[in-house]
Amino acid sequence: MGIPAGPAVLSWSRLKRLLGSYGTWRPPSAAPERCRAAVGSRLRPDRALHTARPRCRQVPLTCERYGLRRLPFGRLSRQDVGFFQGLMPGRASTDPEELKQSNVDWLKSVRGCSELLLKPKTAAEVSQVLRYCHERNLAVNPQGGNTGLVGGSVPVFDEIILSTALMNQIISFDPVSGILVCQAGCILEKLNEFLEERGFIMPLDLGAKGSCHIGGNVATNAGGLRLLRYGSLRGTVLGLEVVLADGTVLDCLASLRKDNTGYDLKQLFIGSEGTLGVITAVSILCPQKPKAVSLAFLGCQDFSRVQETFTTCRAMLGEILSAYEFMDEKCMELVEKHLGLSNPVRGSPFYVLIETSGSNSTHDEEKLNSFLEQAMTAGLVTDGTVAVDDKKIKTLWSLRERITEALTHDGCVYKYDISLPVGKLYDLVTDMRARLGQRAKNVVGYGHMGDGNLHLNITAESYSHSLLDAIEPFVYEWTARYNGSISAEHGLGFKKKQFIQYSKPNEAVFLMQHFKAMLDPKGILNPYKTLPYSP
């Protein structure tokens, strides 16, 4: 098949020129195009569906803050709205209150101005929506639980929001193979509860589990807290059903552990952030629910001890090690200050959470105890607490899981999600702290130590271009110097797409542009996201 040249394709030389200047990329200086109400208040508001959700404080429009130009997509007309309302009565909303929630990201950092929210229930409906949008050249923003952290899940301009919220059916579960097949809008926590009743668990776990959708997890290749044990979604997702930009339904919803027939197409959609197709159903391999879980929360005097504790516990705990997370003392101060949680182990510059999951509590506790004895004797950890009952385990986990939430109460947050060689992980935080000095309110580091994944977060009283200039591209150059990744698990979305070249060669970006043009020649799927700006 030939590769059609579309507006999203850049010539090789143009691409090279663009990539060469991304380090200093700035929004175009031309006057931004304001989000224009195409049909606005003339439309009859539908019934609000989520009146209980908190009101959003006014977030600047993304297109204005970044001075962006709208791509030449069609404008939503009264006839278009009529078509969608006929296709899914009561599920095509133009209610400004409801749209307000869906136009803003969870961090309240980016805001679009979509005027239509669609809630299909089936892949067939998604197919009809996309076929229509493709014909009319209307841009579409697929949206799951809207918990993403890089601005990938909300519109930049007036893209139609295609929500998976009502695609929430479990299709099948096979207790012999542990394979679950479900629609994309199932909430991660709900799936986990369903599985736990049957002696299984989901292979991924995130702080956002109560709201995020499995389709969104797959579309962003979310990592989370269990990756160390169960690997990434690239391994556990066995099949996908995806609707392509022109409405074609791609049924690759296989439930097979082994299948070497041709290219593994599902991998293209895992982590593509809704830019290549809309994931409508997922087949996923789920592990057995562990019979025994223990959690140790320990304090370490410096980062080299955090590292040594990791290598020691990996060697001593072996197959029962299921998570190794770290956080610095600033993180703990913030969860105490903003969320009122209490830290059971005070006075350490670093803390680690070590989880074991196995099938025999006596055996596992014996192993954990001998590791703890060794770690204390060697002076790797100074203090700690261990939990084996569910309630205490949850309480300890919340100290780690709720750091993101605590940060949002601390001010405007600048987020970096970096992969680095484990030995270098914390140096970036130290360097950044020294570089920013008083300009930042707090600079904190935490993350998935076992996966070499640092969450560097910087807070300030308010958003400032000059603070951003002090952070970027420094943070990306630093990461590239050590061959790290500028997005370990959150994706590129809107906020990081211009920096892809710090982690991918030009040839790879060029090929990605080609895939995008082949699968979505009009560029209607989640435009302005993931791939670099193409004027």
Ligand X SMILES: O=C(O)CC[C@@H](O)C(=O)O
Q: Which is nearer to ligand X, 93 or 236 (CB)?
A: 236
Site string for ligand X, 135-164 (x = CB under 6 A): --------------x---------------
* List of E strands, 86-208: 92-93, 117-118, 140-143, 160-163, 170-174, 179-183
Q: How far is the CB of 407 from ligand X (least distance, A)?
A: 6
Q: Which is nearer to ligand X, 455 or 495 (CB)?
A: 455
203, 282 contact by CB (below 8 A): no
Which of 207, 450, 491, 527: binder of ligand X (CB under 6 A)? 207
The kind and range of the H/E element at 170 are strand 170-174
Label the pairing between strands 292-300 and 350-358: antiparallel
In sequence order, what DSSP letters do the residues of 398-415 get, joined into one string? HHHHTHHHHHHTTSEEEE
Q: Where in 99-118 is the site for ligand X (CB under 6 A)?
A: none
Q: How far is the CB of 419 from ligand X (least distance, A)?
A: 12
Angle between helices 361-377 and 303-317 (to 10 degrees): 140
Site string for ligand X, 164-203 (x = CB under 6 A): ----------------------------------------
Q: Where in 233-272 is the site for ligand X (CB under 6 A)?
A: none
Q: Which is nearer to ligand X, 114 or 457 (CB)?
A: 457
Total binding residues toward ligand X, as defined by CB under 6 A? 7
Q: Where in 474-513 is the site for ligand X (CB under 6 A)?
A: none
Q: How far apart are CA 256 and CA 241, in angstroms?
A: 14
Which of 229, 266, 367, 455: binder of ligand X (CB under 6 A)? 455
Which residue has the closest beta carbon to ligand X? Answer: 404
Which of 294, 404, 479, 530: binder of ligand X (CB under 6 A)? 404
R_g over Cα of the chain: 23
Q: Is 150 exposed, middle or buried (0-12, 13-18, 19+ CB in 10 A)?
A: buried
* List of E strands, 391-471: 412-419, 442-448, 453-460
Q: Which is nearer to ligand X, 167 or 492 (CB)?
A: 492
Q: Where in 300-339 is the site for ligand X (CB under 6 A)?
A: none
Angle between helices 506-519 and 12-20 (to 10 degrees): 120
CA 499 to chain centre: 17
> Helix or strand or coil: residue 461?
coil
**Amino acid of residue 246:** D
- Structural tokens at position 320: 């029962």
- Dihedral sign, Cα of residue 227, residue 231, residue 233, residue 234: positive
Q: How far is the CB of 2 from ligand X (least distance, A)?
A: 40
Q: Which is nearer to ligand X, 410 or 417 (CB)?
A: 417
Q: Which is nearer to ligand X, 204 or 296 (CB)?
A: 204
Q: Which is nearer to ligand X, 126 or 458 (CB)?
A: 458
Q: Which is nearer to ligand X, 119 or 455 (CB)?
A: 455
> Helix or strand or coil: residue 336?
helix
Which of 91, 266, 415, 529: binder of ligand X (CB under 6 A)? 415
- Structural tokens at position 432: 């950044």
522 binds ligand X per the rule CB under 6 A: no
209 binds ligand X per the rule CB under 6 A: no
Q: How far is the CB of 173 from ligand X (least distance, A)?
A: 27
Q: How far is the CB of 331 from ligand X (least distance, A)?
A: 10
**Amino acid of residue 363:** H
Q: Which is nearer to ligand X, 371 or 476 (CB)?
A: 476
457 binds ligand X per the rule CB under 6 A: yes
117, 98 contact by CB (below 8 A): yes
354, 323 contact by CB (below 8 A): yes
120, 172 contact by CB (below 8 A): no
CA 303 to chain centre: 26
Q: Which is nearer to ligand X, 157 or 494 (CB)?
A: 494
56, 101 contact by CB (below 8 A): yes
- Dihedral sign, Cα of residue 485, residue 491, residue 495, residue 498: positive
Q: How far is the CB of 400 from ligand X (least distance, A)?
A: 7
Q: How far is the CB of 196 from ligand X (least distance, A)?
A: 22
Q: How far is the CB of 402 from ligand X (least distance, A)?
A: 9
Q: Which is nearer to ligand X, 382 or 398 (CB)?
A: 398
> Which residues sit at the interface with ligand X, rule CB under 6 A?
149, 207, 404, 415, 417, 455, 457
